Structure 1
Amino acid sequence: MSSVTVKGVAAAGPGDADTVRAAIGAMNAFYNETTGLWDTGPWWHSGVALRAVAEYMLITGSEEYFDMAAYTVDTQRAPLDWWPEGGGDFRADSTDDTGWWALALASLYEVTGNSTYLDLAKVDEAYMYDYWNTTTCGGGLIWNIPSRTYHNAISNELYLELTAKLHNLIPGDTYYLDQALKEWDWFNETGMINSNGLVNDGLTEDDSCVNNGQPVWSYNQGVVLAGLVELSIATDDASYIDIAQGIADAVVNDASLSPAGILTESACATADECEPNGTAFKGIFIRGLAKVNAALDDHPYQSYIQKNAQSAYDNARNSTDFYGFAWQGPFDSGTIGRQESAVDLLLSTL
């Protein structure tokens, strides 16, 4: 395959496609052309990076990363040694890891029209739904497949976005819409959205199945926003956007999550505390927020998105377009999570 690292791109600032391309070029310095993965992060981070690359191509009309995307999918279709029996085709040992890759595949189908990617996303949806719980908590996906434990927010939010998106991609579909509505009805009744309008991490593992009060991670706010936008499109029902706006407002107005208007992962104060997963979370939130922003005529979150992007560009970027963890700055070098988070942020300004 051809080299995927972009060098020498002039980054003009947030809102400019070349700025995003420069950040992708830095992100692709982590890309391993032997494994087809982005190094220095857990496996699911590569799914997020792949989705970001696909969405860059979708937004800009570029075909620059087609070869890389195809190679990544080809290398990751075979079962890895830690996958469960029957794995492969991105069917991992947790439902959320499967979901990240399924969304990347759906985005690749959008940009390429290659039905192989859509078929793989369908396979992954079916695999996720195999772990819909029929014995406790009234339903919902469980997270950990080997132990059959934990109803968490992220797995169910990813399933909501995936099924609603599949419906929107497939003319005449009814199955995926029914699944998306089933997921949302269950999720909305669980109490995972707390009294402050924010999503906690999951449900208790006893028979009560109530909000476990675990951290309010930014990505748990973002994925449900993206899912609700897809569901609104699927149903032509603006009430889902109203719900999404309530969650978005809760994040934007929260003093811990948005001090001085800059998104902050308040559940872990430093990049080291957030590794290996949490460094990618903030970009995932901004991606969802941008989808809500685009769905509203007055674009109420545009200034928040732009402020965060400008702060990251001015204060958390080095001379070669790598970005640090804290968008307030200062720059700190590190891992794929930091960089893919910045790519999602910058994509949201286009």
Structure 2
Amino acid sequence: MRWNFGAAGAVVSLLLAAQSVVAIDVTIGNEASVKAAASTIAYGLLKFYTGNNTGDVPGNLPDPYFWWEAGAMFGTMVDYWFLTGDTTYNEITTQALLHQASPTRDFMPENQTRTEGNDDQGFWAMAAMSAAENKFPDPPSDQPQWLALVQAVFNQYASRWDEETCGGGLRWQINTFNNGFNYKNSISNGCFFNLAARLARFTGNQTYADWATKIFAWEEKAGLILPDGSVYDGAGVPGPGAQSCPSIDQIQWSYNHGIFLHGAAVMSNVTNRAALWETRVKSILTSTVGLFFNNQSIMHEAFCEDRGFCDIDQQSFKGYLTRWMAGTTQMASYTFETINPLLKASAAAAAKACSGSPATGFNGIPGTACGFKWTEGGFDGLPGVGEQMNALGSVMYTLVDRVSPAPVTADTGGTSKGNPNAGSEARDPVKALKPITTGDRVAAGFLTTAIAASVLGGCAFIMIGS
């Protein structure tokens, strides 16, 4: 199935026919200009997608991109629709999410289950969570519903919580035979935490809030979140029954900071312990700004970008930090004055980086391929899904303070249907959640890039130049 380009696609087709070289020109703060720029970048992003081609698998990106990044991309497209009102890509977004939800309705499709990690599953679930919160069009009643999909993943996460090692936490990998099973990483636990916090806000169910509190406390106890707001990548598990897991990988990635920042902001919005969560929000935000924004206030991936060795996964991380920082301003208004100028400066820089016309590797409008480094003042020769998605997020999330209300809840207009026991039927059953207090009207995505070897041998190198 191919998408219908609509009016936006017709304009793009004319530009392509003329072989125009049109660099992204955007005035940050001007709604029409931002939406036009976002439309152009989104077109270039979706030209990487092949899942709508005859014979391909809906929801999958081609090599060399992993499954989790497709989930992240469609989460971005849910937000793109919400912020711009452009419905061009809604059909393929819905198709991708529902196909990858799989017959078991838990984002564990058969073609991924042998290699799927907890973080991979989480990025698809977060896309569904955004669909619920943004009132993305609900699927037909006989199809999986956004909220129920999220609840299925949450329940499976709860069933995998491992207190026999490291005193708790999710492992990176689901299956024992995969490399990384003996590693508990922040992004997997961050997915669990972020979803739990958002489910707590959305449904009003205290069980979700309790889990969010538990996950964050474990991250602190494990030494992965420090009092100063640093968020480390993960901890190696020495062996079965090991309660002490001192081998900490101290790499700090932008997406780890972002996912906990946003979840903490949600918790500060919904709990009666707001002061505690506000303190956590402020410490993580301070750490994030100090580490991932240079003197020009432009976002960069601190560990690998300046050294020039970010891999394909890492080249997409800035887009998620942008998403979660923008979401943080909606949940914790006291962060707006700090975050908003940073997002605007980064968006302007990202737009300048969307000026490439590479001979290969990009099929969007010539002159609008987005590069990775936003501090270069132009295209750096690195086109790709991550680069295009980063720039799209950076530009469009500047609309958050202008066109987007706060994400809805079951009490403020949410329409998606939930199932608090979803996922437990097909996988390891967990204790049923407390009843949803709002009744039936409940509305309603990785391959982490740290490897276990770095836990054992890389920390000394990592800290050089940190």
TM range (shorter): 0.7 to 0.9
After TM superposition, the score normalised by the length of structure 1 is 0.88
**Whole-angstrom distance in 1 between the partners of 2:389 and 2:307:** 14
Q: Does 1:276 align with 2:312?
A: yes
Distance change >3 Å, CA 46–CA 238, structure 1 → 2: farther
Select 1:149's aligned residue among 182, 186, 189: 182
Change (3 A) 1:271 1:122: farther
TM-score, reference length from structure 2: 0.67
Q: Distance in 1 between matches of 2:353 and 2:308?
A: 19
Instruction: Provide Cα deviations, 1:265-324, integer angstroms capped at 9, x if missing partner.
Output: 122237972222101111111222223334234522211111111111124433543211
Please tell me the residue identity of whatever aligns with 1:71. Answer: Q
In the superposition, relative to structure 1, how do residues 13 and 68 fare at CA in structure 2: closer, same or farther (>3 Å)?
farther
In the superposition, relative to structure 1, how do residues 316 and 259 fare at CA in structure 2: closer, same or farther (>3 Å)?
A: farther
SS at match of 2:182: coil
Corresponding letter in the other structure for 2:125: A
Partner in structure 2 of residue 88 of structure 1:
none
The residue that corresponds to 1:35 in the other structure is 57
Separation in 1 of the partners of 2:302 and 2:205? Answer: 40
Alignment match, 2:389: 340
Kindly indicate whether residue 261 of structure 2 is the aligned counterpart of residue 225 of structure 1: yes
Distance in structure 1 (CA, Å) of the matches to 2:25 and 2:46? 16
Rounded Cα–Cα distance in structure 1 between residues aligned with 2:234 and 2:322: 21
The question of 1:168 aligning with 2:217 is answered no
Structure 2 unaligned runs (5+)? 13-23, 103-108, 139-143, 357-365, 400-466
**1:128 equivalent in alignment to 2:146:** no
Letter in 1 for 2:110: L
Q: 1:214 to 1:203 in 2, by over 3 A?
A: same
Displacement of 1:96 in angstroms is 0.4
Cα distance, 1:149 vs. partner?
2.0
Alpha-carbon separation, structure 2, partners of 1:339 and 1:160: 27
Does 2:148 correspond to 1:119? Answer: yes
Percent identity between matched residues is: 26
Deviation at 1:12, TM superposition (A): 3.1
For the structure 1 residues 243 and 159, does the alpha-carbon distance in structure 2 shift closer, same or farther, using more than 3 Å as the test?
A: same
CA distance in 2, matches of 1:230, 1:307: 25
Partner residue, 1:108: 131
For 1:77 and 1:12, how far apart are their aligned partners in 2?
36
**Contact 1:271/1:325 (8 A) holds in 2:** no
Which residue, out of 345, 356, 365, partners 1:307? 345
- Once residues 70 and 4 of structure 2 are traced to their aligned partners in structure 1, the CA distance between those partners, rounded to angstroms, is 15
- Tell me whether 1:186 sits opposite 2:224 in the alignment: no
Q: Which amino acid aligns with 1:247?
A: I
Q: Which residue of 2 aligns with 1:89?
A: none
For 1:1-350, list aligned pairs within 5 A.
1-3=1-3, 7=9, 8=11, 12-15=26-29, 16-32=34-50, 33=52, 34-36=56-58, 37-39=60-62, 40-78=64-102, 79-84=109-114, 93-110=116-133, 111-112=135-136, 114=138, 116-147=145-176, 148-170=181-203, 172-194=204-226, 196-206=228-238, 207=242, 208-210=244-246, 212-235=248-271, 237-254=274-291, 258-269=294-305, 273-294=309-330, 295-297=332-334, 299-318=337-356, 320-329=367-376, 330-331=378-379, 332-350=381-399
Distance 2:151 2:26 in 1: 39
Residue identity in the other structure for 1:130: S
Decide whether aligned partners of structure 1 residues 224 and 11 sit closer, same or farther in structure 2, where only a CA change above 3 A counts: same
- Find the aligned partners of 2:89 and 2:307 in 1 and give their Cα distance: 29
Whole-Å Cα distance in 2 between the matches of residues 212 and 317 of structure 1?
40
Q: Which moved more, 1:300-309 or 1:178-187?
A: 178-187
Is contact 1:28–1:38 with CA below 8 Å preserved after alignment? no
| Poorly superposed stretches of 4+, deviation over 6 Å | none
Which range is displaced more, 220-229 or 329-338?
329-338
In the alignment, the residues of structure 1 paired with residue 329 and residue 394 of structure 2 have an alpha-carbon distance, to the nearest angstrom, of 13
More RCO (CA 8 Å, sep 6+)? 2
Distance 1:135 1:235 in 2: 29
Supply the distance in 2 between the matched residues of 1:51 and 1:156 (Cα, whole angstroms).
19
**Alpha-carbon distance in structure 2 between the residues aligned to 1:348 and 1:238:** 27
TM-superposed CA distance for 1:54, in Å, is 0.7
For residue 130 of structure 1, report the CA deviation from its aligned partner.
2.1
Secondary structure of the residue that 1:151 maps to in structure 2? strand
Out of 191-200 and 115-124, give the one that drifted further: 191-200
Q: Which has the higher helix share?
A: 1
3-state SS of 1:203 partner: strand
Query: Which entry has the higher C-alpha Rg, 1 or 2?
Result: 2
Instruction: Give a deviation string over 1:152-205, Cα, whole Å, max 9, x none.
Output: 1111111111111122222x4222222212212222322212465321101232
In structure 2, the CA distance between the partners of 1:239 and 1:57, relative to structure 1 (3 Å rule), is farther
Q: Which runs of 5+ in 1 are unaligned?
A: 85-91
1-structure distance, mates of 2:383, 2:306: 12
Contact preservation (8 Å) 1:281, 1:341: yes
Distance of 1:3 and 1:325 partners within structure 2: 27
Contact 1:48/1:340 (8 A) holds in 2? no
| Alpha-carbon separation, structure 2, partners of 1:265 and 1:181 | 28
Work out the CA distance in 2 between the residues paired with 1:102 and 1:338: 22
